[in-house]
Structures are given as structure tokens and as C-alpha cells.
Chains A and B, each alone.
Chain A
Amino acid sequence: MNWDKPMAINSEFVTRDLGDEIILLSMDGKEIHSFADTGLWVWQLLKQGKTPEEILISMTGMYDVPENRARNDLEAFFEEILSKELVLAD
């Protein structure tokens, strides 16, 4: 995973905003995913085109969390959404 490159949101998913949650639905209706809380906050930054590194800086600036822990948590999140193809690395 490249921390300095923005991730492209996969347009094959339809998104619906429920206010404090977001739902992503695959075009064939077979997959539904959702984000709330920190996941939703990260997703919104990804949609704005922020790189993973920029999101990490925002997170450590906003929350009282050590950088290495924030990096590990974000990495796990990014790997999950990459594996589900909600975002595309290239």
C-alpha cells in the first residue's frame, strides 16, 4: 500500500448517507458494507482525495493517539477496504 498516493473510490458501489453512517452497495446488490464513527471520518477524507499519509496526520492532530498506533489502525482499515475493493489502489 502506498501512503503517499490517494486511493480511488470504486464507482461500482452505490453509496447512501444515513447521517452518522454510510452504506455502500455493489451494483449487483450482493455486497453491502457500512461505515460509522472513525471509519466514516476516514472514508470522507478519502473521498476528498486525501492520501493515507495526510489522513494519518489529520488523525494524530485531532485525536490523542500515538502515531505508530494510528498508523497500524489505519493500515488495517485501508487493507480491509482494498481487499473488499471499495477503493482501488491505482
Chain B
Amino acid sequence: MNRLILAIGPVTAALDFETAGLRRKFFRYFKGQVSLVEPDITIGISFADAGDKKEVPNSLFLTKIPAEKGFVTGDGLLEGFPGEETNHWNFRVNSLLIQGDYKRVFEQILYQAFYSVTGKRNLHLIHSSGVIWGNKGFLFFGPSEAGKSTVASLSRRYHVINDEINIVDLEQPVPQLTGTPFNGLFRGKKRGQAPLKGIFLLNKAPCHNVTLIEGSEAVRNLSKEIIPPVGLSDFIDAGTYAEMLDRATEICSRVPVYRLDFLPDKGFWEILKKL
């Protein structure tokens, strides 16, 4: 069996490939963030030729629709069929979806695998950059182009765990920041976990500054960056957005949220280290 078991924080997801070459390709792509423990979910993956498909939609959440058995998503690029055992799925994937940067879209189905395992547990995938300094976790978030990968790049002398998707774990007495195998633009990420010191809304500005933000300002900004808590059997609906808001509210009640005004240089760390 050509099995790759990914470690997505506390969740392990086994990907069963048809060939050893594909397993190696994905092992390299996920930077070896693998596990040897029994998987929480197993996914058999088979690939079909790209055919005449040329375009990949940005979201495997918004394009996901129910099919006779399971679901279809990505405008037909990926089909998912539940297996007979709990938490076993089979995917039929158009090869276009694993070419070049499209692999980052493919990863979205693995976010859904994560939520299939964790359900309503207090574990949250956040679109963000995560950095550890002095055994403290710093989570940076913001809308597209806010500077998540820039911050990761400027933090390379510290321990960058991910510049795309991180996990906030509120099941521990002290909230924890944990990385994931998923890929952004930064190439030097390393596995890691640390107590979460703060969450920082990125704002490009003429000088470095940190300001505590509270209430709806924190919640509304963070809720937009929570990965929709949709499992493989689920589909986005109105309740999904309400749950994202609830998850953001829960996180903001446990972890301080700041606005980080920053220039594209390393100077902001001098302020963060004093928090």
C-alpha cells in the first residue's frame, strides 16, 4: 500500500495512493509532515487524466454539491465517495487539481477531512501565518494581501510553522498554536506547537504599532479567516457562517487579539517581544 499519513495537528489522515511515485510526490509536497500513528481518517485517492479541463475554481467549499453517493466539487474535478467504514473515503481526482499551484486548492478537501474527524471539537483551522518565538505562539491573520507570507518571510530567523493554515487548539488549559502540513508561499516552515500568546490582525502602515482590539471588531475580522467547519459529508449553508462567527467569538474570548500595524521589515518583532 502506498500510504502517506499526514499529521494535521492532533488529526492524522491517511492518503492511499495508487503508486509509490505519487506517494513520494505528496510526501515532498507536504514537507514530510507525516505521522506513524493509526489514522483517524483514511482516503483512497485515484487520479483521472486532466482531459480538456483547463480551469480550477478557487474553492472546493463553495463548489461542493451532493451527488448520488457522496459529493462532487471543483466543478467536477473531484468526486468523493464514502466508504463502508466510518471515516473512510475514496476520491476520484482530475489530475489538473494536483498540477503546480492548484495543489493548494486540492488541499481544501483535506481541510474538510480534518473537520470530518474533529466535528464540533474546540479545534479551529485559521487562514493565517504562525510563528513561534521564545516558546510563545504568534498568529497573524488578515484578508488576502494583508501580508501573512511577508510576515513569515520576515520571521525566518524564528520558527515559522505555517504561512497559510494553522490550528488554534482551545481544548488545552492554555490555548495552543499548532502548524499544519498545508502550503502557502513560504518555503522554510517547520513543525511546531506553542502556547498562543496573541492573534494579530495585519495592517500595512507607515510605522510599527500594536493595539489591543476587542468585541465585534476582533470577532468580525477573525470569523472571515476561519476555515469553514464543513466535514466531507457536509455542505456550506447559512449555519456554516454562524458557526464561523461562534468559533471566532470563542477564540477571542480566550486569546487576546491585536491590530499589528507594520512596515515590511523585521522591526515589528521588537514590539511583539515586549507584549
Q: Are B241 and A36 in contact (CB under 8 A)?
A: no
Could you tell me if A16 and B215 are in contact, using CB atoms closer than 8 angstroms? no
Given A32-B220, A32-B223, A34-B220: A14 touches B242 (CB 8 Å cut-off): yes
B220 surroundings in chain A (CB, below 8 A): 23, 32, 34
Closest chain-B Cβ to A28's Cβ sits at a distance in Å of: 7
B222-263, CB < 8 A from A = 223-224, 238, 240-242, 244-246, 249
B151 within 8 A of A: no
Which chain A residues in 21-43 approach chain B with CB under 8 Å? 21-23, 25-29, 32, 34, 36
**Chain A residues bordering chain B, tally (CB within 8 A):** 15
Answer whether residue B4 sits at the interface, using C-beta atoms and an 8 A cutoff. no
- Residue of chain A at shortest CB distance from B252: A18
Contact A25 B215 (CB under 8 A): no
Given A14-B238, A32-B223, check contact A25 B216 (CB 8 Å): no
Collect the chain A residues with CB atoms within 8 Å of residue B241's CB: 14, 25-29
A23 and B219: CB pair below 8 A?
Answer: yes
CB neighbours of A22 from chain B (8 A): 216
Chain B residues within 8 Å of A32, by CB: 216, 220, 223-224, 245
Residues of A within 8 A of B245 (CB): 14, 16, 23, 25, 32
Bound CA–CA A18/B223 (angstroms): 14
Contact of A29 among B216, B240, B246 (CB under 8 A): B240
In the complex formed, the residue of B with least CB distance to A12 is B238
Question: What residues of A have a CB within 8 angstroms of the CB of B238 in the complex?
Answer: 14, 27-29
Nearest-CB residue, chain A, relative to B242 = A14
Given A16-B249, A18-B249, A32-B223, are A23 and B242 also a contact pair (CB < 8 Å)?
no
Most buried by A among B223, B224, B245: B245
Task: Say how far B210's CB is from chain A's closest CB, in angstroms.
Answer: 22
Shortest C-beta distance, B2 to chain A (Å), equals 38
Query: What is the CA–CA distance of A28 and B240 in the complex, to the nearest angstrom?
Result: 9
Instruction: Establish whether residues A36 and B242, one from each chain, have CB atoms under 8 Å apart when the complex forms.
Output: no
B242 touches A21 (CB 8 A): no
Q: Is the Cβ of B240 less than 8 Å from the Cβ of A18? A: no
Chain B min CB distance to A71 (Å): 27
CB closest chain-A residue, reference B220: A32
Contact of B219 among A14, A18, A27, A28 (CB under 8 A): A18
Q: Is the CB of A36 within 8 A of B216?
A: yes
Asked if A20 CB lies within 8 Å of chain B CBs, one says yes
Q: Residues of B contacting A25 with CB < 8 Å? A: 223, 241-242, 245
User: Are A34 and B244 CB-contacts (below 8 A) given A18-B249, A28-B238?
Assistant: no
Residues of chain B within 8 A (CB-CB) of A27 are 238, 241
Cβ-defined contact, A16 with B246, below 8 A:
yes
**In the complex, which residues of chain B have a beta carbon less than 8 angstroms from the beta carbon of A18?**
215-216, 219, 249
A-B contact pairs, 19 of them (CB 8 A): A14-B238, A14-B242, A14-B245, A16-B219, A16-B245, A16-B246, A16-B249, A18-B219, A18-B249, A20-B215, A21-B216, A25-B223, A25-B241, A25-B242, A27-B238, A29-B240, A29-B241, A32-B224, A36-B215
